[in-house]
Chains A and B, each alone.
Chain A
Amino acid sequence: MNPIVQSNGLEKTDYAFRMRYETLRSLLNGNARALQILSDLEADLNHFHSSDWRIRRPVMRLIDEALLMAQELNLLTNHRHHTLYDILEQIRFKTSAIFSKTITQDNDFICVQLKENSAKQSGIVGGKAAGVAFLHDIFPGSVPDGFVLTTSAYRLFLEENRLHEKLRLLLKDMDVITDRDQFSSKTESFRTMISDAQLPKKIEKIIDDQLSTWDVNTWAVRSSAIAEDGRFSFAGQFETLLSVPSSDLKTAYKQVLSSRFLDRAVIYRINCGLKEIDTPMAVLFMPMIMPIAAGVIYTRDPQDPTANSMVINCVQGMADKVVKGTVKADTFYLSRQAEPDVVDFIPAHGTKTENHRVTYITDKKLKEIGGMAYQTMQKLGSDVDIEWAVDENQKLWLLQSRRLSIADSEKHKEIRSSHGVPLLEGGMTIFPGRAEGEIFYIDETMPKQVPKGCVLVVNQPIPDLAQFLPDISALLAVHGSPIGHLATLLREYAIPSLFRMGNMANYLPKEKLISVDATNRKIYAGSRWPGIKERVMARLTQGIPVKSSSPLFKLVLSLHLIDPFSARFKDRYCTSIHDVIRLIHEMAVRAMFHFGDQHNRIFSKRAKQVDTTLPIRIYALNLEHSWDSSSKKISVDKMNSLPFTAFWQGFSDTRLFWPKRWDREFSGLPADFREAVFGGIRGPRTPKDANYLMVSKEYLNINARFAYHYAMLDSLVGLGDHNNYVHFRFHGGGSSNIKRERRSRFVEWVLRESGFSVDRRGDLIIAWLRRYTQKESLSALTLLGRLMVCARQLDTMMHEDAFVKMYAEKFLSDDFSAFAF
């Protein structure tokens, strides 16, 4: 019946056991497929809308897979988990409802004219272009015509160049990369890929057609991402090219597209929690206006939202320098009404007392700008800022508009400090509030990163600084315009900040702790307000509160059942497919070892203790046949499992340090000291808990419970590449959250460097390697063996962030002495 088994001289497999094994195999296969779909979905939800078949189909497939796994679990547990069927059906109905609601995207809009109705749909033309189209509707004569290469054009561009697949592969880890060099080299490869790519013939033709219908020689080419100028402004994060000659339009298109992957744009996107799919890039082409004056109008004063005034910032010539915040602009204040008056003026140079007006723009023009802005605001129902330009014929053009985000200043009103002498006073409030932190200066060169929680002091508030915003507690600028891009971003991030502090800001004590009161424009030495530091840090770790972009996320990808020992690790607490899959897997493994299950006594008889000198107790079960029954222990070399042998080679590596051995050798040490070394808050760790492993010739499953840690390894390594996989899950620990998370980041680092795909949530690591060769899969198992030993106590040592990288590098260079603690 089974020649292989018989020819090996081993016991004939009994039928019941065989079926059980096959059921588990099938369940684990399903688990592998399901995890694959989940991880693909996680990436694909960044690229496609939920209406796309590339989302809909895998979700449906995933539900089928989960259903089959549930059936298999029920086979193993005597139908104990039948409620999972109903849970899955509910999820299926809910996801179907989402799919039937989403409207299918029309892929035919490659190019849209601004005056067309569809140009007002930001899903097609991006936020910026939609804003312009809206303006165009209100003031048809005052907004330049133009055309948009839509987000569909962008998708076509990616698809024809096979960039989707490449981007997806590369983007997978972007939001978890902490090494800035690695990050920059990745974003650079995106940009190269885009600028290297060919424009699709269809798009080339459209650009040629457009050029022949427009009597225009120079163009303004602007990015218009989906999320741009919406809830998040992306102010200045993408490229705008001015004065582009017609002949360069195609190159300019690609250049603007590639700006999507500038470091600062990618970081900004990640910080906002936006997914790739939320920001596909449309590009807006408008005839270039050569202005004699240009600027921005705000329908509400960002510095003083309660004042009933509008603000115009303007310069002679082109406005781009104002927007970038590098050149000082003249500031006019207008009354906030349908026919506004100019009520105040602050010149860019000189002081307010020299009450003379500039010559390049008249009050009449300023009032006209104010009137139009007021009208736009009324139509939109919210405050706006509008970029405008006046050409040499004194014609006023509106170039773009967006909603204005202004802080709720009421909250900060009562903050008044009464005592102490400030180090520095003055400047202009960009965003109010109090903060404290150590001073960090940025002058000429842009650093890779800034210390978390610092007060950043800069000369010019340029948009490149946006990348640091999630890490800083406050920002002080010597110069700066309140309506530059960075100011917009600071408001969005709600970071207390002061501009135009003057040169004195350069003399604040370096690396000293200061307290900033941006509301009252005062800087103090030292720590001044209790609780502020904690609040700042809480904000920094939390980031901008994000809702995941896809309603599917909650039903499919989110994982709530993380701790298998928790009381909530039960069928009825499953709310997503991911939960169901996670639960099934855990319960199936438990069923095999029948934790507390009378029904499966047969397996406890088969399990044998692994004979090892390592201070750890492991029980093993051979799924294909029984081992010789004369001994209660099984020696390592009789396991007859390819993946186990590889794993054990790493696990029992003599260069590794086992704390229990150390414990034995230093048994005379005081208990409290030992506890400090071995244990975290929950006391010393002992290997008293049993660990379980299941093997067959090509299969290995390990459930290791090192006291407070939990590690699961599941691997199939056969002849070919196609079915090979190594799955690894790791979490827990007795030390503080932050240390455990650092330890997880160490594990993540090592695994990524070793070719694994990794999903880390807090201190939970899920890593996998699929379809690698036998040799690669086996060496990955050896690595995991070492890693499990090295990482098990590492959390207690993770006192600093920098240790993550240090330990990872040591581990990867086989320097295991560092793990001898």
Chain B
Amino acid sequence: MDKKLKIMIIDDENIVGKRLKPALEKTGDYVESFEDAKKALERFNSEPFDIVVTDIRMDEIDGLEVLEQVLSKSNQTKVIIITGYATVEVAREALAKGAFDFIAKPFKPSDLRAIIDRAAKRSAS
């Protein structure tokens, strides 16, 4: 469990990545954040991550597509979806497509941290 996690954050609203990155780095994990999903996926293709946290709504490539592409590259990766404010219904499709869990905005970094910890446990076991 002490293994450092490689976490990727994808969100086209910069506030999310900007605030999340330092919060998640606090525990020593390695975090990269992207505003451009396309660049993020290119990066992922060159090197897989343990955890991908992605917003579901993005202009060019949306979260579901990120989810599909990530899982097709690496089924070990756990994908966590950030959904919009009070839009749980949207999470349905993501879960059906194999997302590990979802979190609705606004959220506390510690809430996300809890999900990441659970995800890490699963991939370890």
Contact = CB atoms under 8 A, between A and B. Distances in A.
Contacts of B85: 720-722
8 contacts: A169-B88, A170-B95, A170-B96, A189-B98, A198-B121, A722-B85, A770-B89, A771-B87
Contacts of A169: 88-89, 91-92, 95
A172 interface: yes
B21 interface: no
A721 B86 contact: yes
Nearest to A770: B89
Contact of B87 (A170, A186, A721): A721
Contacts of A108: none
A172 B90 contact: no
Interface in B87-105: 87-93, 95-96, 98, 101
Interface of B: 57, 84-93, 95-96, 98, 101, 118, 121-122
Contact of A186 (B91, B96, B118): B96
B85 to A, nearest CB: 5
A816 interface: no
Given A169-B89, A169-B95, 7 more contacts: A170-B92, A170-B95, A185-B96, A721-B86, A755-B90, A771-B86, A772-B87
A406 B57 CA distance: 56
Interface in A756-772: 757, 769-772
A775 B95 CA distance: 22
Contacts of B91: 169
Q: Which of A165, A198, A771, A776 has the most CB of B within 10 A?
A: A771
User: Main secondary structure on chain A at its contact with chain B?
Assistant: mixed
A29 to B, nearest CB: 16
A172 B96 contact: no
Contacts of A722: 85-86
A184 to B, nearest CB: 12
A196 B98 CA distance: 12
Interface in A148-190: 162, 165-166, 169-170, 172, 185-186, 189
A755 B93 contact: yes
Contact of A757 (B87, B89, B96, B122): B89
A198 B121 CA distance: 9
A773 interface: yes
A165 B96 CA distance: 13
Interface string A262-292: 0000000000000000000000000000000
Interface of A: 162, 165-166, 169-170, 172, 185-186, 189, 192, 196, 198, 720-722, 755, 757, 769-773, 776
Contacts of B96: 170, 185-186, 189
6 closest cross-chain pairs (CB), A and B: A169-B92, A771-B87, A196-B122, A721-B85, A721-B84, A722-B86
Nearest to A166: B95
Contacts of B86: 721-722, 771
Nearest to A167: B95
Given A189-B98, A196-B122, A198-B121, A773 B84 contact: yes
B117 to A, nearest CB: 11
Contacts of B84: 721, 773
Nearest to B105: A721
A410 to B, nearest CB: 48
A483 to B, nearest CB: 39
A189 B95 contact: yes
Contacts of B87: 721, 771-773
Contacts of A770: 89
Nearest to A720: B85
A2 B36 CA distance: 43
Contacts of A757: 89
Contacts of A196: 122
B98 A772 contact: no
A172 B122 contact: no
B122 A772 contact: no
A567 to B, nearest CB: 37
B108 to A, nearest CB: 17
A218 B92 CA distance: 40
Contacts of A165: 88
B111 to A, nearest CB: 12
Contacts of A755: 90, 93
B92 to A, nearest CB: 4
A213 B90 CA distance: 47
A755 B92 CA distance: 9
A51 B42 CA distance: 52
A721 B57 CA distance: 13
B57 A773 contact: yes
Contacts of A170: 92, 95-96
Contacts of A772: 87, 89-90
Contacts of B88: 165, 169, 771
Contacts of B118: 198
Nearest to A769: B89
A19 B24 CA distance: 52
Nearest to B121: A198
A188 to B, nearest CB: 9
Nearest to B95: A166
Contact of A771 (B89, B93, B121, B122): B89
B97 to A, nearest CB: 8
A428 B112 CA distance: 61
A169 B93 CA distance: 9
A414 B13 CA distance: 76
Contacts of A198: 118, 121
A98 to B, nearest CB: 29
Nearest to B57: A773
A757 B92 CA distance: 10
A143 B85 CA distance: 56
B89 to A, nearest CB: 6
A720 B86 CA distance: 10
Contacts of A186: 96
Contacts of A172: 92
A189 to B, nearest CB: 6
A356 B75 CA distance: 58
Contacts of B95: 166, 169-170, 189
Nearest to B102: A166
Contacts of A720: 85
A722 B57 CA distance: 16
A260 to B, nearest CB: 18
A821 to B, nearest CB: 32
A186 B97 CA distance: 8
